[in-house]
Structure 1
């Protein structure tokens, strides 16, 4: 009899776990709205990833050129405000690379002012992503792995938070937006996050603005030049795929370690 109870325990636990995933009655209407926004952004990002890799490899970069870079250039002074808004929106959709937008700052404004604009735009994007992830992503993360499952990540980020953010922002080819979303999922103070992002974004922004200026390619970008777009897209597509694979591997590894961490603490 005892054996049957033990046998039935696993399916019942799984059933309870799945049921809990779809239970949102404990959240306020505002929190549920943020959760919906977060899920929608993840869904759109996944669609863009699929479309960009399997349908049209220049799709995302054509959007960046036609909808982002050229309008900013055409508006001249007012393009500054458009750039900040675009960086904020771009940050919400992971497959749209901030790196390409940051490259345009060097093309449009030169390496110095382009670098300054890159820092401002990066801060706007990172704070918006962080806020939505904290309000909508954190509750979902707690549902999937539980509060105790996030405890290890919270402890690590509280210990190495600012340093980790600076390093992740400092390295140019690490996805900026993924780090912003991930930071919102863990318990890091917004001030520490902002300081780490600001310091780390300085090198990143100037790296791309200098690169953009050295290209000596003046907007507006002619999107009929498919070879140019492909040259840019092939590099960043490979980088993004590698980063994505690493992130998936890290998530799986974290999940395994967190389960061991919880089990050890209970013992």
Structure 2
């Protein structure tokens, strides 16, 4: 029997799981009932919940929650890829972060996930020529979450930013799919040059805490960058780079470093 198309559009296993987790969380911690109901159970879709969360976090005396909510709702309605990317990001965090056991954790509590979703709204505004509003969101994301992502930067799906303190991603940076990065990572320029001046990070890359990747350079797919490294030159795929300045010290050690999250160097 053929399932009606409109029914297929309503099937969302990620959102169904989030709602089940939320209902259980209310039973486990009734004092958070108001937070969980307003943040999750009151909404019909993940997109609605994200619009609520982003507008709540970024609202200020300069911009009301209502206006930001309308912007987010418009973005999610116009570009369905925003919701798909959010789901991929959620599943990436659940799979890779050993401290994450439920999907409600990133949605309610993790500033790395929330900041990336807010950035995606800013990027949507940027692509439509609404540059000043995109800059406003960038400012508020930095103030609220301590993460500075230029709205013109391009981030793929399945992004995990763990801990998420002091992340900086520049205007012409590109981050591929299924990338994991830890706190204090910088994807920056090397000076005052204009134009295309920021790193291009491939798919499946793992970037350790405090690593700096500077300049219009390329980091190949499925490579690892050790914590505290400063990368100034192109890196081929499937290698491990470490040091200041970074040098190739071996193979990546596995097919998907960003998924395995193995940051140990082979002493041999």
TM-score bracket relative to the smaller structure = under 0.3
State the structure with bigger RCO (CA 8 A, min sep 6), 1 or 2: 1
Greater share of residues in strand: 2
TM-score normalised per structure 1: 0.24
TM-score normalised per structure 2: 0.24
